[in-house]
Amino acid sequence: MSKIIVLAEQQLGKLSNATYNAIGAAKKLAGIVGGEFDIALVGGVIEGTIKDVAGYGAAKVYTATDATLERYTAQAYAQAYASVIKAAGAEFVVMAGTAIGKDVAPRVAARLEAGQASDIVDILDGPIYLRPMWAGNVYGKVKINTDIQVMTIRPTDFEAAQATGGESPVEAVEAGVDAGALRMEFVKLDIVESDRPPLTEASVIISGGRGLKSKEKFAEIIEPLADHFGAAIGATRAVVDAGWVPNDWQVGQTGKVVAPDLYFAIGISGAIQHLAGMKSSKVIVAINKDEEAPIFQVADYGIVGDLFEVVPELLSKLK
């Protein structure tokens, strides 16, 4: 029977919601290769997050703590994760493809001399891992031949696991971090504070593009609509590069990949890089004055018109 382990992600004692998607992927993988899955939780002080993962059907929750893990650095966490994986005897390693997952998973794979499949959206019999390529226009099938297989999953493409009601046993292992070998030092963590839901977790996203013409117009048009829905705000790379909004709001191939229930694309032409980050949304509403804009090819509903007239009228009707 195969052994699977999920690398849980936490910062400052708060578990990333994407970890539950990784657990969902691990359960799907277990249905293909057989066996059980464990969960690895590493950090400085993690007692508060153990209960967040202990009720999701894992055979065991492995923990590793160390002073070097109080703040995230890729090198220290990679060493700790690798130690836990070896202690668990895992053959398959699953982690969410968040910023941290993309940062640390390749380092873990290198330490284990393991092959890695990145940004996977499905797991097929074999196991074969499906991943998007060419901005999502084609999908590649990846087979890993090493004894240990590491994968990062796209959280929006796997259902988040639901609590099972039980409680997994917990086992502490040595983190095995060689502090002298670390060449990274934690300096500071800049967090964008917002009352809005995070982009990757929001059920409704209101996104704006260059068609909004200025930072002031972006705020004037996008924010009231987002307030009405209690939505997250997204933007294209051009808008972020222009300094209208924070980098954290970027949706697309080089930004966040999202799949909300409802996605508004306002003044967005639909460049392939942006579509790669949002075309899995359940319902897409596009507002653009150019009827030939590529965004209409993926939209469920489209309005061809001046967004500066359409959006305020739409908002008045919604109210």
Nearest CA to 7 among 150, 123, 146? 150
pLDDT at residue 194 tops 80: no
**147: number of CA atoms within 13 Å, CB side?**
6
pLDDT at residue 165 tops 90: no
- What confidence tier does 230 reach under pLDDT thresholds 50, 70, 90? very high
Domain residue limits, the chain: 3-181, 199-318
Give SS3 for 158.
coil
- Over the stretch 153-164, which tens digit does the pLDDT of each residue have? 998 889 889 888
Residue percentage of the chain with pLDDT more than 70: 99
- pLDDT in the model for residue 268: 95
pLDDT at residue 287 tops 50: yes
pLDDT at residue 45 tops 80: no
Q: Tell me which CATH code domain 3-181 carries.
A: 3.40.50.620
Rounded to the nearest 5 percent, the helix, strand and coil shares of the chain are: 35, 25, 40
Q: Please tell me if the domain spanning 3-181 has the same topology as the one spanning 199-318.
A: yes
Q: Report the mean per-residue pLDDT for the chain.
A: 91
What pTM was computed for the model?
A: 0.82
- pLDDT in the model for residue 37: 94
How far apart are the C-alpha atoms of 61 and 55, rounded to whole Å?
10
- pLDDT in the model for residue 167: 87
Q: Determine the average pLDDT of the residues in 273-281.
A: 89
- What confidence tier does 2 reach under pLDDT thresholds 50, 70, 90? low
- pLDDT in the model for residue 1: 46
- pLDDT in the model for residue 192: 67
DSSP state letters, 92-150: EEEEE-SHHHHHHHHHHHHHHT-EEEEEE-EEETTTEEEEEETTTTEEEEE---SSSEE
Query: How many other β-carbons are positioned within 10 Å of the β-carbon of residue 86?
Result: 14
- What confidence tier does 314 reach under pLDDT thresholds 50, 70, 90? very high
- pLDDT in the model for residue 255: 87
- pLDDT in the model for residue 200: 84
- Over the stretch 88-139, which tens digit does the pLDDT of each residue have? 999 999 999 988 999 999 999 999 999 999 999 999 998 999 998 887 778 9
- What confidence tier does 11 reach under pLDDT thresholds 50, 70, 90? confident
- The CATH homologous superfamily to which domain 199-318 belongs is TPP-binding domain (3.40.50.1220)
Helices 99-112 and 74-88: angle between axes, nearest 10 degrees: 60
- pLDDT in the model for residue 124: 95
